[in-house]
Amino acid sequence: MANLANEAAILAARRNKQQISQEELLESIDKVLLGPERKSHILSKNEKLIAAYHEAGHALVASSLPHAEPVRKISIIARGQAAGYTLKLPSEEKHLKTKTEFMADLAMFLGGYAAEGASNDLEKASELARSLVKEYGMSERLGPIAFGEKEELVFLGKDIGEQRNYSEKIATEIDEEVSRFMKEARTTARTILKKRRAVLNKIAKTLAEKETIEREEYEALIKGGKPAATKTATQKPVASKFKKFRVKEIK
């Protein structure tokens, strides 16, 4: 909180403001959670649309699943290592997650891939699916067992590898379960986006135009409302790192 307040105060001072406003607070949250804005490159019109469909896919899948965390903001402005982002914040403090909530996260990761080609979403989704099977024991087929013994640098608290404590047969079954989790989540994401394609198009068009959509406007869009009037841009568009360029409006 101290870091957040400090960042907000710095932003307000740079803008010659006497008080910290909600604008500075929200921007500070983004900087603390995601890193500073990257202004080194500019997105073309087509790249903006690619990025917009990608993030809109993440957000819409998350908003369509009852156990997913609410979407607070979506943006195609690059911050830190992210080319764009969908920011979700829990409505209440939580220390535990259920399998249903993990599967909602998995579908959300694949929502961007299903809507428009992925960047590193497949890697993140694969890591989560493998953790669900190997570490959290959430595979009904394999049962509540943790597979693999991690080797750590005790004083640094870092993993340096894994020692296999299971057979080749189990390794194959783990791979099959990871694949099943991924397919299930991908099907969920595709079903949602196909059913709500008109909403997806609306969110993506608005995001491509404005570059950032806050929670209130986003919720109005998914409920069938109209986007708020465009404000004068204060930020430059930036480059993205999307591997596939196959954007077309989904009709």
How many helices (H) does the chain have, and how many strands (E)? Answer: 8, 5
- In this structure, are residues 32 and 3 in contact, taking their beta carbons and an 8 Å threshold? yes
Q: Which residues are catalytic?
A: 55
| Cβ atoms within 10 Å of 209's Cβ, excluding its own | 14
Which are the contacts of 246, defined by CB distance < 8 A and separation ≥ 6?
Answer: 116, 117
Q: Which of 6-22 are b and which e, b meaning 16 or more Cβ less than 10 Å from the residue's Cβ?
A: ebbeebbeeeeeeebee
Nearest in space to 201 (alpha carbons), one of 51, 45, 58, 52 = 52
Q: At 24, which helix (H) or strand (E)?
A: helix 22-34
